[in-house]
Amino acid sequence: METLATELLQQLLRFNTVNPPGDERVAQEWLAGVLEEAGFEVDLLGATPERPNLVARLRGAAPGPVLCLLSHMDTVLATPSEWQRGPWSGDVVDGVVWGRGAQDMKSQTASEVAAALTLAREGWRPVKGDLLVVCVVDEETGGANGAKWICREHPDKVRCDYLLNEGGGTVFEVGADRHYGVCIAEKGVFRFTLTAHGRAGHASMPAMADNALPKLAPLLATLATAKAELDVTDAPKGLLEGLGIEVGEDAATALEELRSRAPELAAFVEPMLSVTFAPTMIGAGAKINVIPSQAWLKVDCRVPPGMDEDGARARIEEVLAGHDGYELSFDEEVVGNGSKPEGPLWDAIAAWLASEDPDAKVLPSMLPAFTDSRTFRAAFPECTAYGFYPQREMSLYEMWPLVHGKDERIHASTLGFAARAYKAITEELLG
Ligand SMILES: [Zn+2]
């Protein structure tokens, strides 16, 4: 399957699907053809003709659970002059495949499709339930035309009980132990604006007016370094405990212990444990010689899964205690969600790993950002959705900078490793 997955990935990388604009149609039509030929029923469904989502179904003999192998076809942009190889070359050099999307996430599309094609071409069909291969568009700019659209407009086409998607699976080591994270949850997003008010006036006589802009300075300084109270949820708790670190009443102590044992990993875990604030935009005034009567500061705020607007507001007000004279409004509100680290899908992942890498352990993890898994969990509350793309040739710390970065690449052997995972999990769940 490694050869098949590598060839698929090379093809996929050669379609430029940088979003915006995405322009995924040609790639999706090509992939649809490949799956159709192997016996899948394929639909291309899109909000616009240029951006169809692909839904391929391999129907079982009897009703049963639906397993969905999900991925997205779009990528972020790439600046060719910064790269050692063309971002749309699909070059394979010394066993490594290069191109935009080689990690995020055409590699997973290739491994999922390689597993699905191998099964279908062998004549395998689910004993019960269906296998779905879904490749959506428009993930990188939020999924309005992709996962959100298809879950809303065609829920019956993509309804599933188990879902595998991006967001976890790269190996990391703590001491001598090797672990693979399964992303079971994603944080929510509560982006907000703080507005300060004053009184406009002539800039030549500042004292005669009331400048709104400097009122933001103390708020900005506080938010730039603010640490919210910890809100511990299943994923980081399971991760820490899986590493042998007890999470008692005081999760801060557990985090400290992790920091002393594995500082690199602690940097990944810390944002899983609390609300985070990143002030990213600020503005005031329209003219240099007019004292502004209004100034605004925008903050990208990420909250643990399950936290709603009231919870977010409470944490914001806590860190801004002692400040006044600001107005708070939310610009974007997305509640994060998660699945339990247990059940048939979890067991199937663990069983596969035990056969391929018996000394390693599966641990729950969380993505501080969010993926299409969040949309699927919200649309289908019964669905267990995990991020899992097993990868052992690169560690988490080597892989992460390549995502949205230059020189994105992946080992071909990883493509085969992951394809074997998807094949084994599919056979386990659908019989
Ligand atoms: Zn992605």
Residues in the chain, total: 431
Distance, C-alpha 55 to centroid of its chain: 20
For residue range 237-294, list pLDDT tens digits in order.
Answer: 999 999 999 998 889 999 999 999 999 999 999 999 999 999 999 999 999 999 999 9
End-to-end Cα, the chain, rounded Å: 20
Ligand 1 center to 166 CA (angstroms): 6
For residue range 11-36, list pLDDT tens digits in order.
Answer: 999 999 999 999 999 999 999 999 99
Ligand 1 center to 350 CA (angstroms): 24
Give the largest Cα separation in the chain, rounded: 82
Ligand 1 center to 104 CA (angstroms): 5
Contact criterion met (CB below 8 Å) for 118 and 112:
no
* Calpha distance 147→149 (Å, rounded): 5
Mean pLDDT across 116-141: 97
DSSP β-bridge partners for residue 276:
302
Domains identified in the chain and CATH numbers: 2-174+339-430 (3.40.630.10), 188-231+274-334 (3.30.70.360)
Ligand 1 center to 72 CA (angstroms): 7
Give the pLDDT confidence score for residue 398 in this predicted structure. Answer: 93
Name the pTM for this structure.
0.94
Paired tokens of 203: 């800039």
Q: What percentage of the chain reaches a pLDDT higher than 70? A: 100
Q: Please count the CA atoms within 13 angstroms of the CA of 410 that sit on its side-chain side.
A: 34
Ligand 1 center to 106 CA (angstroms): 9
Q: Is the pLDDT of residue 370 over 90?
A: no
Q: Helix 2-14 vs helix 25-37: angle between axes, to the nearest 10 degrees? A: 150
Give the pLDDT confidence score for residue 273 in this predicted structure. Answer: 97
